[in-house]
Amino acid sequence: EVQLLESGGGLVQPGGSLRLSCVASGFTFRNYAMNWVRRAPGKGLEWVSGISGSDGSTYYADSVRGRFTISRDNSKNTLYLQMNSLRADDTAVYYCAGSGWLLYYFDTWGQGTLVTVSS
C-alpha cells in the first residue's frame, strides 16, 4: 500500500524554525518527484516546494524561496522541509505529495501536519 506519513508540525513563534519530515512506503521513492503542498486556514491548496527524484533539483514558490529548504534521503525514503524565518502567514496544514515528475499532478498524498506560527 502506498503511504506518506508526515511529522514535525507544531507551534512555533514568528521568526522561528521547524523541520518537517515525510516517510514514504509502498513505492520506489527514489524514482518519484516529491513536493510539499499547504492549505492555510480558510484558503485553498498552495504548492510550496518540489524536488526531483533523479538529480535532486529543487524548486520553490516565491512565497517561501530563501526561507524554506526541501531535501530528500532516498536511503531512508524520507522527504524533508526545513522552514526558517517563519511568519504568521505560513500557518497551514502541510502535505507531502508525490508526482511522477516535477510540474505534474500529485497522485499520492499524506494526511498532513499542522504548522502554527504564533506568539
Residues that bind other proteins (CB under 8 A): 4, 37, 43-47, 59, 61-62, 95, 97, 103-107, 109-112
> In 10 A of CB 101, how many CB atoms?
12
Which residue lies nearer to other proteins by CB, 14 or 101? 101
> In 10 A of CB 60, how many CB atoms?
18
Instruction: In angstroms, give the least distance from the CB of 30 to other proteins.
Output: 21
21 residue type, one letter: S
Which one, of 4, 32, 21, 10, lies nearest residue 93 by Cα?
10
Instruction: In angstroms, give the least distance from the CB of 109 to other proteins.
Output: 4
Instruction: In angstroms, give the least distance from the CB of 119 to other proteins.
Output: 27
